[in-house]
Structure 1
Amino acid sequence: MQGSIYEKLNYIRYKGMQRMKRKVAAIVLARMNSTRLPGKVLMDICGRSMLGHIIDRLRKVRLIDEIILATTSQKEDEVLLDFAKEEEIKSFAYEGDPEDVVARIREAGEKFKADIMVNVNGDCPLIHPPVIEQLIKALVEHDAEMSTVANLDGKKVIHGGVNVFTLKGWQKVDENSTELYQRQNTTACLLDYPDLLKKVEVKDKPIFYQINHRIWVDTPADLEFMREVYKRLYKPGKIVNLEDVIHLLEKHPDLMEINSHVRQKGLKDKSRKVVFRVDGDEKVGMGHIVRCLALATELQERYFCGVSFIIKGEGGIVEMIREKGFKVEVLPSRISGENEAKRIVDFSRDYGANRIILDLKDEVSPEYIFKLRKTNIPVISMDNNGEGAFFADVNIFPVAHFIPDNRWKKYRGKLYYGPEYVILRREFRKDYPPLDNKTPNILITMGGSDRENLTRKILQATLSIPDVRITVILGRFFAYYSEIRQIATRKGNIDVYRNVQNIAEFMLRADLAITYFGVTAYELAKMGVPAIVIAHSERDKINAERFSKYGTCISLGYFKEINEKKIYSVTGRLLGDKKLREKMSKNGKKLLDGKGSERIARIIMDSVRGSGVSIFRRNKNFPINEFSCQWEIVT
């Protein structure tokens, strides 16, 4: 056939005097019920939704005749049909199994009478228009059934999310996709049967093979990365040039650290759903919330889990969890234990949960756990010594100070505890180079709320220490900000920050820190910062004293029992003893490796419902250090 590509597209063959037009349709796959990041396709990136950016980029492909948004008939996806109307593009709501991507594409192509289909994933806001045009041309010119981007010297191209097929070729894919995983993925069948279709490959420019990094969106970390890229390169009314993205990443490789740790889901990897029931608010503290968010992120990014939280509370706590990309179910503050358990059971069943994780301040009752176990879902209890915990399938104490009493010898499940299981946020999992301050720096950080305003007492106590700088970090829910600012303005050596995003950077610059005992005390230990810890309760006083025996901190006691004089005295002595601080720093770095959340996530994914027997032994094969202990059932 002679002529241009447009002639070949428009006049494929003749049937007598009838000329048949070859229609090219872009079929954009999108759903609101993504497991790891629900609603991601409509999330904002520089003032436009992710799907909006994809549509803008597809409109730059001259060979595409029609753009079709292919979603499902599920109620939550109705908003996508409205989006398509606003964008003035076609839409298709597949009425079959929402997970059957292969059939959705086929029926969309058949309904709109497409001859050639450009299959586009709705989570790839940097699809590359020039290569899409090349793929369409190559498919037509070689009379192929499929066109895709080739590797170059063994390297994959950075962009993705697009393949081009003839409708007849895709019908073959549909007929041969007999396994569930094949129907849920656009390329699985073709990887299993590489010779099923006549295929042509297109090589892109060498620049697009220089960097191997994920530029699609599955998790909040991916979204954060994409927003940062668009923030630097996007101009309204224009699309981001992919070559500019490559140059940006070469110039600022640190940007890739935002989501480089996210694990790519394999074709046969299964998505799971986890429910966290956790306590935390301005009154009781934020430690349990903080560590559960860190663990939830690990499950989301490394084990393809959808995560929902069930909490008592409202306002800022709910918003804080949602900002991390997780769903939140809010319980009434005065709900009974029986009704609470029923709510968790009903929610878990409706959600399709595979695991239930409890991290509660109050001790749980056996009746509470019995109700949860009726779901036949493994129940994992964290940091709870109540009678009900002994009926959970797994118990994890993600702390170094836990000492099991004799009751645990009769426990019929699996028990894990010790420094190896301390949960830290991602910024604390890497090692930082030490800094040598010319002027000693005291860090004061008393958690998310500090309702008692102990920050003020500590600040007043340390003001008279000569030749130091004082850094004060105030939490998101701290109510006395103006008071602390007034104190700081009267002195020239005090820096005050509020609700910081990466507290590890401030810890790095500290010679010593003063904090409430809890998650922050462990974070300081990992950073090698000697700490003075203060207990928020009588129970915390005991735990703080136990933890101080590891030699990373000094326990000052219960906050109601200390005064400014004691704070001043202990702080001054520790600041003046450099050798002691160096020893405390080494002890902290030795104690914690920052991989607790990785270990616990693996335990959670491996957990199953079981009866067990009351005989235990140390598991010698489990990675432990001299401080840790993990016991397993002997069957």
Structure 2
Amino acid sequence: MNIVTVIQARTGSSRLPNKVLLPLSGKSLLERMVERVKWSELAGKIVVATTEEESDNIIEKICKKNNLLLYRGNTQDLLDRHYQAAKLFNAEAVVKIPSDCPLIDFRIIDKVISYFIENSDKYDFVSNLHPATYPDGNDVEIMHFDVLEYAWKNANRKLEREHTTPYIWENPDKFRIGNVEWETGLNYSMTHRFTIDYPEDYEFVKLVYDELYFKNPRFGLIDILDLLESKPELKTINEKYNGVNWYRNHLDELKTITPDQTKII
């Protein structure tokens, strides 16, 4: 199976502009993000999908410098951007990973992809998000290319184009949806925040890198949780945003998301 992993990235984030360029242990956030995904054994071809905006020329430069595959496309229509990138690289299955998760554990990436491969005849789409149980920032979604293509052809709502996959997981009557839950039985999705949207998120992630990266660049979820147990003050840095995600703005439009899966700020 030709798997293509698409990491969407742009400099024009409204809440934290240029966040993918922020430094983490001597390199940009984007470079660290790709580095972690590359440690996955099953991610296949890794493609950075950015926009055609002039401001994202810097992302193209970073990709050329690091010999990374790149696709440049629509700014707002991420469904189109993912589809075109996947098509360009002849994907049979497409993995979606956002670029603002530089603490993502490559073991979790492999777990989700492995589950999809083992059950590819049973599921059209597999993620670890429906429902989510891992700490926020370990987001992995994978689907057959023809499923992504069907969504690309049929999704009409703005949120379906902007967030790539809602048309799929919002229609369990049309698609067979699989989910990977944290094997511990715990649910930290609303209590632990490892993604970057706000300055406090970056401060938290930077300190985690400062503590762990040079001891073991391949540090993972357990290492982070152990660090937070030994230094609980770190967790307070961005805890006011725990549970804050894009669902909060679309609860009246989403059929499969309940209010307890997001936080209003």
Structure 1 length as normaliser, TM-score? 0.37
Question: Distance in 2 between the 1:234 and 1:100 partners?
Answer: 34
Which residue of structure 2 lines up, in the alignment, with residue 156 of structure 1? 133
Secondary structure of 1:118's aligned partner: strand
- 1:269 and 2:249 aligned: yes
Question: Distance in 2 between the 1:69 and 1:140 partners?
Answer: 23
**Greater relative CO, 1 or 2 (CA 8 Å, sep 6+):** 2
Which residue of structure 2 lines up, in the alignment, with residue 68 of structure 1? 47
Distance 1:74 1:204, change over 3 A: same
Q: 1:277-319 CA distances to partner (integer Å, 9 max, x unpaired)? A: xxxxxxxxxxxxxxxxxxxxxxxxx86xxxxxxxxxxxxxxxx
Which residue of structure 1 lines up, in the alignment, with residue 11 of structure 2? 32
Question: Distance in 2 between the 1:237 and 1:84 partners?
Answer: 24
Question: Distance in 2 between the 1:150 and 1:182 partners?
Answer: 16
Question: Distance in 1 between the 2:48 and 2:119 partners?
Answer: 28
From 88, 93, 97, give the equivalent of 1:120.
97
- 1:58 and 2:58 aligned: no
How much does 1:266 deviate? 2.9
Secondary structure of 1:222's aligned partner: helix
Question: Distance in 2 between the 1:210 and 1:114 partners?
Answer: 32
Decide whether the 8 Å contact of 2:129 with 2:139 is kept in 1. Answer: no
5+ residue gaps, structure 2: 251-263
Decide whether the 8 Å contact of 1:120 with 1:163 is kept in 2. Answer: yes
Question: Distance in 1 between the 2:194 and 2:98 partners?
Answer: 12
Decide whether the 8 Å contact of 1:61 with 1:129 is kept in 2. Answer: yes
More strand per residue: 1
Q: 1:496-553 CA distances to partner (integer Å, 9 max, x unpaired)? A: xxxxxxxxxxxxxxxxxxxxxxxxxxxxxxxxxxxxxxxxxxxxxxxxxxxxxxxxxx
Decide whether the 8 Å contact of 1:53 with 1:239 is kept in 2. Answer: no
Secondary structure of 1:104's aligned partner: helix
Decide whether the 8 Å contact of 1:27 with 1:119 is kept in 2. Answer: yes
Question: Distance in 2 between the 1:266 and 1:149 partners?
Answer: 16
Secondary structure of 2:246's aligned partner: coil
Alignment size in residue pairs? 247
Decide whether the 8 Å contact of 2:22 with 2:29 is kept in 1. Answer: yes
How much does 1:183 deviate? 1.1
Rg (Cα) greater in structure: 1
Runs of 4+ in 1 over 6 A off after TM superposition: none
Decide whether the 8 Å contact of 1:102 with 1:184 is kept in 2. Answer: yes
Question: Distance in 1 between the 2:117 and 2:181 partners?
Answer: 16
Decide whether the 8 Å contact of 2:101 with 2:194 is kept in 1. Answer: yes
How much does 1:134 deviate? 2.0
- 1:79 and 2:58 aligned: yes
How much does 1:253 deviate? 2.4
Q: 1:308-337 CA distances to partner (integer Å, 9 max, x unpaired)? A: xxxxxxxxxxxxxxxxxxxxxxxxxxxxxx
Which residue of structure 2 lines up, in the alignment, with residue 250 of structure 1? 229
Question: Distance in 1 between the 2:181 and 2:142 partners?
Answer: 14
Question: Distance in 2 between the 1:91 and 1:208 partners?
Answer: 36
- Map residues 411-426 of structure 1 onto 2, 5 A cutoff: none
How much does 1:254 deviate? 2.1
Opposite residue 171 of structure 1, the aligned amino acid is E
- 1:214 and 2:193 aligned: yes
How much does 1:68 deviate? 0.5
Opposite residue 108 of structure 1, the aligned amino acid is A
Question: Distance in 2 between the 1:63 and 1:193 partners?
Answer: 27
Q: 1:224-256 CA distances to partner (integer Å, 9 max, x unpaired)? A: 010111111111772222211011122322212
Secondary structure of 2:7's aligned partner: strand
Distance 1:258 1:230, change over 3 A: same
Question: Distance in 2 between the 1:135 and 1:260 partners?
Answer: 27
From 117, 140, 161, give the equivalent of 2:117.
140
How much does 1:191 deviate? 4.5
Which residue of structure 1 lines up, in the alignment, with residue 154 of structure 2? 176
Question: Distance in 2 between the 1:166 and 1:155 partners?
Answer: 21
